[in-house]
Amino acid sequence: MIVGTNVAWYVDRAGGLVAFALLTVSIVLGLLLSARARSSWPRFALEDVHGFAGLLAGTFIGIHGIGVLLDGYFHFTLADIVVPGIAPYRPLATALGVVAAELLAAIAVTNRFRRKLSFSFWRRAHYANFAVWLLALAHGISSGSDSNTVWALALYAVTAGSVAGLTLWRILHTRPHPAWARRLWPVTAGVVAAELVVALALTPLPG
């Protein structure tokens, strides 16, 4: 039985947006952990929150998919949300989300068997979280019907700015740099990333 269009739409969008927010939290914590940033929380607590955020993100991606299937407006099938590019609604934009979800599932498998894998392989596989996050961001911007609203623009801008700024900060942390560079460059990267995301959201990707 198909759930009412409005209810399914809210489940779909809420699930996707919460999943994206949790992915961002996981990425941010991962960057802080990799740089061994000082925190009032013990490292093991941050690691637990990092892992739990990723697990919750996967759960809400599932909720997002269920909402899509229950939405009677576009009549998505299971194949549409598993096979990239065949969805009846914005195939390209939807494909980005499908690939992101499947890549996240693959990363979850490597995490599950982490002790049986070499650390170098696991670490390289773990970097794929950035690809998942970027695909999820592009998916949300290009497929969301509310991407040009103020609150959605704020969400995408803040998350993109945070991840871009912290990523550059993490890169600078690996080698000695002037104090002004460690402060200025990450902030600049964050601002530029936020501006680019807003521009993309106001001019959605085709398809």
Tens of pLDDT, residue by residue over 107-158, are 999 888 888 888 888 888 888 999 999 999 999 998 877 778 889 899 999 9
The answer to whether the CB of 98 falls within 8 A of the CB of 79 is no
Greater confidence (73 vs 190) lies with 190
Taking alpha carbons only, the member of 170, 180, 171, 200 closest to residue 32 is 170
- Residue 145's pLDDT is what? 74
> Which two three-digit tokens encode residue 180?
């002004």
| pLDDT higher at 183 or 194 | 194
> Tokens at residue 116, please?
């049986």
Segment among 59-68, 95-104, 142-151 with least mean pLDDT? 142-151
pLDDT exceeds cutoff 60 at 201: yes
Distance from C-alpha of 131 to C-alpha of 169, rounded to nearest angstrom: 18
| Contact yes or no for 106/117 (Cβ under 8 A) | no
CA distance 89 to 11: 17
Structure token digits, residue 181: 């560079």
